[in-house]
Chain A
Amino acid sequence: DIVMTQSPDSLAVSLGERATINCKSSQSVLYSSNNKNYLAWFQQKPGQPPKLLIYWASTRQSWVPDRFSGSGSGTDFTLTISSLQAEDVAVYYCQQYYGTPWTFGQGTKVEIK
């Protein structure tokens, strides 16, 4: 199984400031035939199912504000919220879909400082 490790486990950021979450996979999730990283980011608010924010490491879903961005390749990835808003308080998960079993990181809780 590919193990996904996120850091930090939690972070508190002031409104309008940048939040950065890291995700590391135990092996590369870059598919060489199409040069795509099979890495997704999800946002989960309390009492709700997760929502897909980003796939292919950096492609935002249509509904996602552009303050959210994904970057990285191979085994190291980052989710950045450029200017934290109150509605961004949530737990964020990275997930690899390079191969089954699909695996998730342990989650990063983002709060307002």
Chain B
Amino acid sequence: QITLKESGPTLVKPTQTLTLTCTFSGFSLSTSGVAVGWIRQPPGKALEWLALISWNDDRRYSPSLKSRLTITKDTSKNQVVLTVTNMDPVDSATYYCARSILPAGVPLDYWGQGTLVTVSS
């Protein structure tokens, strides 16, 4: 059974750094072709892809946010961490992590339930 779960603060202040952890089970990020990504969704709005890290440590970022994002993995702990610097109220959103199998062309087939992050002073 494949599961993913996001964890992190629910409230951050403007200019602070957000650190989110995706803890997963049922698959390994050391398996060829596996990737884990982050997607966010402001309340009532559309989905926005943020970043992706692959089994071979290839990292991809949204160009519009690249200077503020860092994605890392800890294969031994089955975790992927996303940091977002200089948080702003417009970054308030539900943040999801999701798995992809890239060579098979299957994107985002398993998702976590998401974690709502509010940016406010």
Residues of A within 8 A of B (CB): 1, 36, 38, 40, 42, 48-52, 55-56, 61, 93, 95, 97, 100-107
Contact = CB atoms under 8 A, between A and B. Distances in A.
A36 B106 CA distance: 12
A78 to B, nearest CB: 19
Q: Is the interface of B mostly helix, strand, loop or mixed?
A: strand
Given A49-B114, A52-B106, A107-B46, 18 more contacts: A36-B105, A38-B107, A42-B47, A49-B96, A50-B47, A50-B96, A55-B105, A56-B105, A61-B109, A100-B61, A101-B49, A101-B61, A102-B37, A102-B52, A103-B49, A104-B48, A104-B49, A107-B47
Interface residues of B, number: 23
27 contacts: A49-B96, A49-B98, A49-B112, A49-B113, A50-B108, A51-B111, A52-B106, A52-B107, A52-B108, A52-B109, A55-B105, A55-B109, A56-B105, A93-B47, A95-B107, A95-B108, A97-B105, A97-B107, A100-B52, A100-B61, A101-B49, A101-B61, A101-B62, A101-B64, A104-B46, A104-B49, A107-B46
Contacts, number: 62
A50 to B, nearest CB: 6
Given A102-B49, A105-B46, A49 B111 contact: yes
Contacts of B108: 40, 42, 50, 52, 95
